[in-house]
Structure 1
């Protein structure tokens, strides 16, 4: 009798078996280290956060006994520059470094389902090649010699699937590398894995029928974010030194916020984006809204270390890149001491569309106060430009210029259903005609023009605001499938402003504001939905305890190095506060 199961079920089982087989037996976690209630990938699609319980698995790689003391030191002691230096000076072998990170990535996956394609064998083979080259010639293979990195599943690697969570694309290996993969390998970096994404790449919770739902290692009730959710988890759990994702609505910055790490969305053309699998109409980005690629890391310094090598070379690897400059090495003198005037940081408290919840507003104020106490920094309040509240609507319409049939054909061809969050939110539509598309871009141009005023003070256009701080989201890290109001991140893709996520502190008891509700007038449907994440009748606020609270840092178009500098200044102020608190 023929099976009545949809075709995707067998494909998913086969794909998950292939993934499990890529993890060596000696790297498998003993059962007692995997928390109770770990649902199967199929169950994880529909089961909600209550079924998972509040579990933090961040310490398990350190306590499970699978990592040797040397591997723990390799994966925890170094930043990028120090690790590469240790390898190029012969103090560490690339093979030992890569094995330590591969093993830690395998452990992270068993706890969170963050991987799609473990590339451990080929990574170790490449590490041995680098060790032999260094021993034979005395020269490293590039400035990132031996650096373990990972990439979002969308990036093509020759001979490896780019299934992006769709069974229709499984077991169809790529025929060529993405330009970013070629660039990373030319620099000496070693890609150890590809990581999980959401179905359609259009949600902020990384969940699909092929690999299941990626879990947040800090608390499995919270979303891990998307669409670069697997990368965010792997970076946070030290299963890689740096991860590379893409961002069109916040897909780098949101996972960074959810895991309490650092994310960097560059301007368009700074990091090679082409040669990816998106499941979308080819060329859509050129006529609608163009996503960008960028890194996630555990420090501002690590973001700078990889951008310093990628940005000046990007134009040689992909036609979508432009010439770029990044000082190497970065100046040791803090940027505010090198300027003829104070470094000016603006504080943008709201986008005018969704009012940030109290703990989000509070952390913005705290960072502003720290910066006011920082020599060489001037802090100014930015009045929300009227155009800001219009950006999210134009962004959303540009994302949906086609009829959605390319993605829906892939999903339906294997009998897949849309994951629960997408049901009623995604499907086939009607493509815009040329006149409608032109009208949208006319609106976009007008918004870009109006938003320029945000970077000047008063009537003079000579004095520029160097960077702006604003929320990443109008709420703390939410439970699965409850992320709301993407406008705080997507608007800066529309405007092509570089933007980064920077963690500040954890959500604490005093942030709960028990018994206090928001009394300001609701601004609209998005604002109403956001307040449900705080209203004590619809949300137990204690779910946010210990979650990371972050800020977003934004600079004007093509000011990518200035974004790095601004993040460095702000992070130094935040870390200084943290160090003082520990004394």
Structure 2
């Protein structure tokens, strides 16, 4: 078996790619071997072995204790929010070079502990920072409103001169010649891209694992998934290796990694953030006729999400042909001053297809209770729309309108096997006909129209609900390769509702409910699979201890600014101004 595997072309490609990645980390930034916890297995082992081979390890403190980061570098990478860091550089208190160098070093440390990177861009990032410093000193003006801000992007975004391999050996060592539209926009704002980050094979799973770069590990606990498909970004941001990361979302690929690592994710409506100029491994133009993914940010605070969206949204139409004119007030106006009435937040406890497990229901109840004690906020219960349970299946069919051959040809052409989670789930099929696709889109329109009633509470044509709180997933952060239902996230891509992840608190002993089983009827196959993540015969619930518990916040189509407001309200209500990730 091993000798046959060694004969496959992808093995040599992966070895070359790993050597290139390792060479991009300077010797003085490398962790001593004794500091790296046991369990950083070979690429092949990280893919095939399940969660049991990992013991519980949290590596969050290693950047602070390893001795590679100076006290100033620790302060730079931990103390500031986006606006504060940019101000420190533009006011001359910090050099862009020292800021970018500090984040590059921290990203290198994160890579050695989690395998979060695919393309370290450290050298070019530091050179660009030096150019910004020279420009500021010479002219007295910053390059843009994000002058010197270190950011990272998902591997799918094209960055001139480097690969967009998306974890596939067939696409390795084929550097792109032009930037993605979002990359051009970020650079025009003065931001500096320091790295590209890991994704799953085929971009179609919620655990970031591939044969080229291995599996990205969750820095909070290696037994938990880091999420996908923007899992590398989630791990890098959790470890303070970047200020803001940019990913994409079609089934939950921004919101899920944010949930898994206790940070914040923002999936905007279509047209708010440029999406063009990415490698998908799919048939070109598929998104225009099927389900269209969107690009958006992940960060360690709502304020940081808002800071970058405030600069991107008004300019997006100038960079992406897929974008629309947008307006984003900045800074945020307090709700009590912005509206003559209460800000109404609805609580939606289930999608009617998969019943959330007890800790998820509990966290929704806790958030609702916090909000009821928040001045200027009205909380209402949202009746489950009858068509909501149909959305997951409809979104899934829209994702799979083609025959799958474009991606599978790339995978199989280099002798790659599908990663374990995809085996039995991904196969060639028959593409939909034009008539079938038209019928599917017609059904989508019917569902979209029916779902509008959720915002009026089925009472007339006046919007009565400003935002909705619901689960990100019907289960806590699971072990590797055990993420279940995607309907709670894919639904809002199909509906084109902006949606974000807000962490609430860690999973506590009181959430275990040992010996207590769910007594509500099982709704179907997805619900049955979800119960296995709580059934003490199939999981040790203790694995969830200290994992982040988060909620999803949703607003109507194109109400992206209102989503930012709602996330801020909820975050302040549940955190009291504290960062939840600091407690994990």
Q: Compute the TM-score of the two structures, normalised by the length of structure 1.
A: 0.98
Match of 1:473 in 2: 473
Q: Could you tell me which residue of structure 2 aligns to residue 86 of structure 1?
A: 88
Kept in 2, the 8 Å contact 1:153–1:197? The answer is yes
1:138-164 deviation per Cα after TM superposition (whole angstroms, max 9, x unaligned): 000000000000000000011110000
Per-residue CA shift, 1:61-84, capped at 9, x if unaligned?
Answer: 000000001100000000000000
The size of the alignment, in residue pairs, is: 579
Query: CA offsets per residue over residues 56-108 of structure 1, 9 Å max, x none?
Result: 00000000000001100000000000000000000000000000000000000
Which residue of structure 1 aligns with residue 176 of structure 2? Answer: 174
Residue 522 of structure 1: aligned partner:
522
Structure 2 partner of 1:375: 375
CA distance in 2, matches of 1:296, 1:535: 32
Q: Does the 8 Å contact 2:382/2:457 carry over to 1?
A: no
**Which of 237, 245, 248 is equivalent to 1:246?**
248
Q: State how far apart, in whole Å, the 1-side matches of 2:473 and 2:560 are.
A: 21
Tell whether 2:554 aligns with 1:554: yes
| Alpha-carbon distance in 1 for matches of 2:398, 2:435 | 13
| Matches of 1:22 and 1:482, distance apart in 2 | 33
Give the TM-score of the pair, scaled to structure 2: 0.98
**Within 5 Å, which residues of 2 pair with 1:156-555?**
156-331=158-333, 334-555=334-555
Structure 1 residue 577: deviation in Å?
8.7
Gaps of 5+ in 2: none
**Alignment pair present for 1:134 and 2:136:** yes
Q: Counterparts of 2:579 and 2:247 in 1: how far apart (Å)?
A: 31
Q: Decide which moves more: 64-73 or 35-44.
A: 35-44
Q: Secondary structure at the match of 1:256?
A: helix
Q: 1:156-199 deviations in whole A, cap 9, x for unaligned?
A: 01111000000000000001000000000000000000000000
Q: Distance in 1 between the 2:376 and 2:433 partners?
A: 51
CA deviation after TM superposition for structure 1 residue 5, in Å: 1.2
Shift of 1:300: 0.3
Answer whether contact 1:337 1:376 (CA < 8 A) is retained: no
Partner residue, 2:24 = 22
Quote the Cα distance in structure 1 between the aligned partners of 2:370 and 2:295. Answer: 31
On the 8 A contact 1:94/1:130 being kept in 2, the answer is yes
- Unaligned runs of 5+ residues in structure 1 are none
> Does the CA contact (< 8 Å) of 1:156 and 1:277 recur in 2?
yes
Alpha-carbon spacing, 1:577–1:176, altered in 2? closer, same or farther (3 Å): closer
Q: Is the 8 A contact 1:55 1:220 kept in 2?
A: yes
Helix, strand or coil for the counterpart of 2:277?
A: coil
TM superposition shift of 1:208: 0.2
- The answer on whether the counterparts of 2:273 and 2:313 sit within 8 Å (CA) in structure 1 is yes
RMSD: 1.4
In the alignment, the residues of structure 2 paired with residue 491 and residue 239 of structure 1 have an alpha-carbon distance, to the nearest angstrom, of 31
CA contact (8 A) 1:344 1:465 kept: yes
Distance 2:399 2:122 in 1: 35
Tell me which stretches of 4 or more aligned residues in structure 1 moved more than 3 Å: 1-4, 577-580
Alpha-carbon separation, structure 1, partners of 2:457 and 2:163: 50
- SS at 1:45 equivalent: helix
- Does the 8 A contact of 2:224 with 2:480 survive in 1? yes
By how many angstroms is 1:50 displaced? 1.2
SS of the residue aligned with 2:550?
strand
**Does the 8 A contact of 1:38 with 1:52 survive in 2?**
no
